[in-house]
Amino acid sequence: MHISEFIEQIQNGFLQTSWLERLAVLFGIVQVLLSRKNKISNYFFGIIGICLTISVLYNAKLYAEILLHAYYLIMSIYGLWYWKFRNQSQQQAYITRCSRQDWSVVAGIVVGGYFLLFVFLTYFTDSDVPIMDAFVSSTAWAGMWLLAKRKIENWILLNISNFVAIPLLFHKELYLFACLTVFLFIVAISGYIKWKKIMSTQF
């Protein structure tokens, strides 16, 4: 495929998306940029974006993806509570590194989530990429949990998910979302660096 044809496919893919999809992508971009800056408002944009995405996925009958985004929604609401309301009577929840217990939970989410999703995608859907799809989702689940807990390693888990998601999306010819994921990959690297700087000044 020539570069000009590739660019044309991306342009056509964008033109064919609905306004609902575009809004979902827009809110997703704003959410990750605000998250990079350690702003609690990232969750407000994230929650709206997730709800829009669920609506799009429902219309497309992508029920496994709806399950994943329902998890994102729950973790976003939890993250909003943890970042803000939990700390009204306690000291600020600082950015920290994962403890051994945190890593144990991460391992449980990744391994357990992968197994459950792989079984679901293999036996209850017509998915042709259950291995990659399950891996992308399970690592993203763990990353979202760490983000809600304000653990700096959330960026690492999210980028492991992004790294595998990029070729998966290209394989599915979802060029617009593949390019968005490349953007999120770059932002996650920047977010890790930004959070590391914040960590050095918060105590």
Tens of pLDDT, residues 12-33: 766 777 788 788 889 988 988 8
Judge contact between 195 and 94, C-beta under 8 A: no
> Terminal CA-to-CA distance of the chain, rounded, Å?
52
* pTM assigned to the model: 0.77
> 124-183 pLDDT, tens per residue?
888 888 898 899 889 998 998 998 888 999 999 999 999 998 998 788 767 767 777 898
Judge contact between 175 and 9, C-beta under 8 A: yes
Query: Rounded distance, CA 22 to CA 45, Å?
Result: 14
Provide the pLDDT confidence category of residue 63 given band limits of 50, 70 and 90. confident
pLDDT of residue 67: 80
Query: Rounded distance, CA 191 to CA 132, Å?
Result: 25
Calculated CA dihedral for residues 81, 86, 92, 97, nearest 10 degrees: -60
Query: Rounded distance, CA 36 to CA 89, Å?
Result: 25
Burial of residue 1, with CB atoms counted within 10 A of its CB: 0-12 exposed, 13-18 middle, 19 or more buried: exposed
Question: Average model confidence (pLDDT) for the chain?
Answer: 84
**All residues at 6 or more sequence positions from 69 whose CB lies less than 8 Å from its CB, including other chains:** 50, 53, 54, 57
> How many other C-beta atoms lie within 10 A of the C-beta of residue 92?
9
DSSP of 98-138, one letter per residue? --HHHHHHHHHHHHHHHHHHHHHHHHHS--S-HHHHHHHHH
